[in-house]
Structure 1
Amino acid sequence: MKILSFNHYWRLAAAYLCYLLFAIGACLPGLYIFALALTPIDSAAKQRKVRDAIQWLCRLYVNIMQFIGLMNYTVEGTRIEGLRGHMVISNHTMLIDAIFALAFAENLCCVVKSQLCVNPFTRVPVRLAGYLANDDPHIVEKASRKLHAGENILIFPEGTRNQYDLQLDFKRGAANIAIMSGAPILPIVLCCMPRALCKGDSWWYLPEVKSRIVMQFKPVLKIEDCIDITQPRTRQYRRLTEWLRDYYLMHVKKVVGSQTN
């Protein structure tokens, strides 16, 4: 039987602690959010307060993970202050990708799994935050209206975590929303090296060495700079999906390659 290092055992303990903190932390803002639900202020103000609380909690959580030695992270690129009306997209490598996006990009409306909209512990926060269910048949139209109103939509074009860095099987949902709304796209590239918290892995499965997470904010993309917008809509959806996949393949290769050289 392979003997694990002290550092590996420490990170296993840190992982357990982080899961425990996440469970506790999810309850604490829950109390604040339930209190907001009873507060006589307009729904837009409630929504922003809920999103700010979620961002604060996610930022605290990633900093705790780094402080106790579970992983290291760096944030590269220029973040836009006062971000409004942008599609925020990211590749989907690990379980905590959404936590990083929520921690460092402001006022995000997330596309979430439909189960969170009916779960008794999450449905009130999800509703007050104005999040969208991923199985909503009108999601494209609803997301477009939110973008036109100045909200930012967070979506993972892959829909689920990939199996390896360069898999990147992009679906058309993100492209459909971007083209229908005409919103600019803010790409976030997330890489975890070595990979951890992958799809299908148990929570206690950790690489032998501490992972380094690189989060890159890329320049904003305009749809007309990516594809020919005079083509029929159905072709635009397909071409933008392919363009974004190739864009991410290029940048993920650069990040992963820079860490192995």
Structure 2
Amino acid sequence: MRRVSGLPYDAFCLVNRLWRWGVTGLFFALFGIGGLLLSIIWFNLLRLVIRQPETLHRMTLNSIRNSFRFFLGGLRLFGVMDFCFVGDEKFKQDAGCLVVANHPSLLDYVILASRMPRCDCIVKQALLQNPFLRGVIKAAGYLVNAGSETLLLACEARLQAGGTLLIFPEGTRSLPGQEMTLQRGAANIAVRAGCDVRIVHISCQPPMLTKQGKWYQIPRVKPQFIITVADKVNVIDFMDDHDLSPALAARRLTQHLRTELMRSNIQNNEK
């Protein structure tokens, strides 16, 4: 009989899964508590010490990024999941760039924001009612999805000011095994702002924290995230001299992004 650490293999797998279940619940609780402590204590301390708005905003984003790194490091240390970045040094070139990624897991934003030097994000308006996240969203200056035209203007201004905007163009987490559907919002923003688009592929095997899965539905083995930062797409390539229609350019760009992002889903299904 195969044995691991003195236990039968099946028993070891069960113990390991129970351990990951308990630690996952603990870290979910710590994530909410951490957001509350950042909002109530740390961000207010920063406001008292730092008077320059630009410096304050940069320190706030750095605090969030480092908190995410600490959170992910804890998940890795305690064996809940593991992750690997390929080409993440490219993020240093992405000032004024739109970053788009597929969205297989609830952790995708946390993972990407932990490595991006700056990460501006669009959040649902309902999250402003969340007492654990509301303060973080306001302190970071994240854009709130409150209206299409207002949001487009805000995104354009943020990109032109040198921000890096992260969007999951599916609009929600992917459903494993189902065809990917992209909303046209990301392409509309890119066309309107005339900015480059950075494509990021996220693979998670086995699936973890999917749209249909609950936090307590722990995979049998430890999930592995692989985040591959691909090349940029030049939005000008989708607008020619004969047809400058923003709507058509956005449609072309959306089709291209879907083709590129679908490669991640195909690779996931083949593994």
TM-score between the two structures when normalised by the length of structure 2? 0.87
The offset of 1:118, in angstroms, is 4.5
Which deviates more, 152-161 or 71-80?
71-80
Alignment coverage as a number of residue pairs: 256
The aligned counterpart of 2:111 is 100
Q: Give distance in 2, aligned partners of 1:116 and 1:43.
A: 24
The offset of 1:160, in angstroms, is 0.7
Among 170, 182, 185, the residue aligned to 1:158:
170
The aligned counterpart of 1:85 is 96
The change in CA–CA distance for 1:82 and 1:250 in structure 2 (over 3 A counts) is closer
Give the SS at the match of 1:104: coil
The aligned counterpart of 1:234 is 247
Among 35, 44, 53, the residue aligned to 1:43:
53
The aligned counterpart of 1:55 is 65
Over the matched positions of the two proteins, sequence identity in percent amounts to 27
Which deviates more, 212-221 or 12-21?
12-21
CA contact (8 A) 1:193 1:256 kept: no
Give the SS at the match of 2:181: coil
Q: Give distance in 2, aligned partners of 1:239 and 1:224.
A: 11
The offset of 1:174, in angstroms, is 0.4
Give the SS at the match of 2:204: strand
The change in CA–CA distance for 1:111 and 1:148 in structure 2 (over 3 A counts) is same
Q: Give distance in 2, aligned partners of 1:177 and 1:117.
A: 23
The change in CA–CA distance for 1:136 and 1:118 in structure 2 (over 3 A counts) is farther
Which deviates more, 114-123 or 99-108?
114-123
Gap regions ≥5 residues in structure 2: 1-9
The aligned counterpart of 2:7 is none
Superimposed CA distance per residue, residues 18-43 of structure 1 (whole angstroms, 9 cap, x where no aligned partner): 11221232233222112234445132
1:110 correspondence with 2:110: no
Once the two structures are superposed, the pairs formed by residues 136-175 of structure 1 within 5 Å of their partners are: 136-137=147-148, 138-164=150-176, 167-175=179-187
Superimposed CA distance per residue, residues 90-144 of structure 1 (whole angstroms, 9 cap, x where no aligned partner): 1111111110111011211110111223444433332231210123331111101
CA contact (8 A) 1:157 1:174 kept: yes
1:176 correspondence with 2:188: yes
Q: Give distance in 2, aligned partners of 1:118 and 1:43.
A: 25
The offset of 1:251, in angstroms, is 4.0
Give the SS at the match of 2:114: helix
1:133 correspondence with 2:122: no
Max Rg structure: 2
TM-score between the two structures when normalised by the length of structure 1? 0.90
Which deviates more, 34-43 or 212-221?
34-43
Q: Give distance in 2, aligned partners of 1:124 and 1:96.
A: 20
The change in CA–CA distance for 1:120 and 1:43 in structure 2 (over 3 A counts) is farther
